[in-house]
Chains A and B, each alone.
Chain A
Amino acid sequence: MSNATLNRLTPYVFLAPAVVIMGLALLYPLGYMVFGSFRAWDPSQTLGESTFVGLKNYVTLWNDPNFRESAAVTLKFAFTVVVVEMFIGVGLALLLDRKLRGMSVLRTLFILPMMIAPVVVGLVWRYMYHPTLGVFNKGLKTVGLDSVDWLGQHALLSVIIADIWQWTPFIFILALAALQSLPRSALEAARIDGATGWQQIIHIKLPLMMPVLIVTGLLRLIDAFKVLEVILVMTEGGPGLSTEILALRISRTATEFRELGVAAAMSNYLLILLLMLTIVMLVYNRWVEYRATRAMRIAEENL
């Protein structure tokens, strides 16, 4: 082999271990799942013993009102939490983007919820929502109001609140980082141009933060579609199907209903949805990069 060929191959040789591990750790389980989704598969069987059923699992799911209900709950949950979290997170970042005494401590406190294990978050909120012992209903009682059936009648709202509590900090720190990397002089120029605080936010800060906010929102959305532990601990999907998000339904289909094939098909539906979101994010990033390079090219042509 010539030296040149060797040189050309060297990078791939170095990459090979990573590729092998990627293949084993990522592609194998994924392929296993996709393969399984086309079969009637009971947990007592090996994958080889199961029978091939084609697209039956997908079709059944598509027509299953329970699955549709679950998908609807998931969509409602994900979009609601992300929209609310974006508003609160970005709002907090705008408020706290200043030099105050003890600011760094405050910022650390703000991101604490994100650091707590989701199971613990679920437990804590479950007890706070408890119909008689929970702090919310106790509080309502002390001020003379009727108690609220948090995890019953308003179960979805309750889990949404818990998720917002846990994940707003994520948006907050990213938004704050984006804010602090904005060009200071542009903001000063805006002040001289006569922009009030609100006008600076609307005309300068938010538009300049937008690229970061869009990616943050998409990341958060992808995450929200996969939420499991907090809801599992708080409501187990009930009452009825009111909080049975997809991840929970997948887990129940596999364990309670013992239909691995259907569970795999359901996972694939979710995967397709998330893949689309990811592609949107990648395309958006590409587009931003493309615009930047195009601008640079035009600027250079001007010289």
Chain B
Amino acid sequence: MPNIKLDKLTKSYGNVEVLHAIDLEMQDAEFTVLVGPSGCGKSTTLRMIAGLESVTDGEIYIDDKPVKHLEPKERDLAMVFQDYALYPHMNVAKNMSFALRLEKRPKKEIEQKINDVAEILGLTDYLYRKPAELSGGQRQRVAMGRALTRDSSTFLFDEPLSNLDAKLRTQMRAELALMRQRVRKNMIYVTHDQIEAMTLADRIVVMHGGHIQQQGTPEELFKRPANKFVAGFLGTPPMNFLSAMIEQNGEATMLVGDGFRLRCDQPTVDRLAHAKSSNIVIGIRPCDLEFDPNASDANAFDIDVVLSEYIGAQSVLIGKCSEQEFMVELKSDTPIALGERLRFSVQFSDMHFFNVDNDLALA
């Protein structure tokens, strides 16, 4: 499989630059997920790789060959679109074989290929249906099948699951993951759904405002977010952020904010040494808090419970730490009542610290 490299890729519409010199390298047979909120430039990036969108500046290399000026078909890729983009007047078999028929491949080979792919995707019974005669999930499969019938080295997915209802989306996500195990090819996948990103990706690229915020394995990004945006974007419920001040109290280094007064351990003191000012932001994931009425002040937060969302085995507690909103994930059988003030403890190793001025994480 070729490796794909973006070199200072830039896109402007008129005077508005929407993508700011993106550098990105995708490894052989890697499943790369571009994720970010709407308007972050992820789809534009994908469409530029596909050749559907012109490149304003910079270059795209596929196997070290610049492809900026090549037509989509010369780039050896297949794409699955958000709205499936099936050809409405062709039946499923014709949809899937369109590219092969254009290449004038032998009939036998085309037929074989279609049957193989239809088998994988469970479309064998629907080969002679028109797209309008299929349900959303089936159309999605046909779109996938159309990409699979071609022997392209790279697959592009543009939010392929976002038009499906929640249940079907989960199912298709699992199918995608299965397909991924079978088909070892380059895959670039765009989504705004961080769960899709976490579950499918070998590597996640988080984008925001036309910049790459961070890239790495799902675990790296979850455990060591490079900045406040990435920290808040990945993970549900989202990370809590609390403003705090670093204070020296004799020998001890304290983190002080509304409703808490933490006494830092030595590794944390070392981490805080990188802070640019004494004002910092603490990030705590809702799952990292432990209900502990007897915790000492040194690593505890007092939360006023405002609301509890029952999800099943887990509940999400929405509360306030003094005036700052705070979410906690805990077992549903934890005995709590609304309006109560509860004490939760957190390990310092589970805390994230960010500079106030540039939102960057402290190493």
Q: A295-B132, A298-B129 are in contact. Are A194 and B85 (CB under 8 A)?
A: no
Residues of chain B with a CB closer than 8 A to A292's CB = 132
Q: How many residues of A contact B (CB 8 A)?
A: 25
**Is B144's beta carbon under 8 Å from chain A?**
no
**Is A27's beta carbon under 8 Å from chain B?**
no
Q: How many Å lie between the Cα of A296 and that of B88 in the bound state? A: 13
Among A208, A295, A300, chain B packs the most CB atoms within 10 A around the CB of A295
Q: How many Å lie between the Cα of A294 and that of B129 in the bound state? A: 12
Instruction: Pull 13 A–B residue pairs with CB atoms less than 8 Å apart, ordered by A.
Output: A185-B84, A189-B85, A189-B86, A191-B52, A192-B72, A193-B73, A195-B73, A203-B87, A292-B132, A294-B133, A295-B133, A299-B132, A302-B138
Please give 7 more A-B residue pairs, beta carbons under 8 A apart, in addition to A188-B79, A203-B87, A303-B135. Answer: A188-B50, A188-B85, A189-B81, A190-B98, A191-B71, A193-B73, A208-B88
The residue on B at minimum CB distance from A184 is B85
Q: How many Å lie between the Cα of A75 and that of B327 in the bound state? A: 79
Residues of chain A with a CB closer than 8 A to B135's CB = 299-300, 302-303
Q: How many Å lie between the Cα of A209 and that of B133 in the bound state? A: 20
Residues of chain B with a CB closer than 8 A to A302's CB = 133-135, 138
The residue on B at minimum CB distance from A296 is B132
The answer to whether B52 and A188 touch across the interface, beta carbons within 8 angstroms, is yes
The answer to whether B78 and A192 touch across the interface, beta carbons within 8 angstroms, is yes
**Is A204's beta carbon under 8 Å from chain B?**
yes
**Is B313's beta carbon under 8 Å from chain A?**
no
The answer to whether A190 and B129 touch across the interface, beta carbons within 8 angstroms, is no
Name the distance in Å between A290's Cβ and chain B's nearest Cβ: 12
Residues of chain A with a CB closer than 8 A to B130's CB = 295
Residues of chain B with a CB closer than 8 A to A186's CB = 85-88
Q: How many Å lie between the Cα of A190 and that of B88 in the bound state? A: 12
The chain B residues found within 8 Å of chain A, CB to CB, are: 50-52, 71-73, 77-79, 81-89, 98-99, 102-103, 129-130, 132-135, 138, 146, 150
Q: How many Å lie between the Cα of A303 and that of B52 in the bound state? A: 33
**Is A43's beta carbon under 8 Å from chain B?**
no
Q: How many Å lie between the Cα of A203 and that of B87 in the bound state? A: 9
Residues of chain B with a CB closer than 8 A to A189's CB = 79, 81, 85-87, 146
Q: A183-B83, A188-B52 are in contact. Are A194 and B88 (CB under 8 A)?
A: no
**Is A239's beta carbon under 8 Å from chain B?**
no
**Is A207's beta carbon under 8 Å from chain B?**
yes
The residue on B at minimum CB distance from A194 is B73
Name the distance in Å between B168's Cβ and chain A's nearest Cβ: 10
Q: How many Å lie between the Cα of A199 and that of B101 in the bound state? A: 11
Q: How many Å lie between the Cα of A299 and that of B79 in the bound state? A: 24
Q: How many Å lie between the Cα of A194 and that of B85 in the bound state? A: 15
Q: How many Å lie between the Cα of A190 and that of B99 in the bound state? A: 8
Residues of chain A with a CB closer than 8 A to B73's CB = 191-195
Identify which of A183, A199, A295 contacts B102 (C-beta below 8 A).
Answer: A199
The answer to whether B129 and A207 touch across the interface, beta carbons within 8 angstroms, is no
Identify which of A192, A194, A199, A204 contacts B87 (C-beta below 8 A).
Answer: A204
The answer to whether B133 and A192 touch across the interface, beta carbons within 8 angstroms, is no
The answer to whether B134 and A207 touch across the interface, beta carbons within 8 angstroms, is no
Residues of chain A with a CB closer than 8 A to B129's CB = 298
Q: How many Å lie between the Cα of A202 and that of B146 in the bound state? A: 20
- Within A173-219, the residues touching B (CB, 8 Å) are 183, 185-186, 188-195, 199, 203-204, 207-208
The answer to whether A192 and B98 touch across the interface, beta carbons within 8 angstroms, is no
Q: How many Å lie between the Cα of A203 and that of B102 in the bound state? A: 10
Identify which of A183, A199, A203, A296 contacts B85 (C-beta below 8 A).
Answer: A183
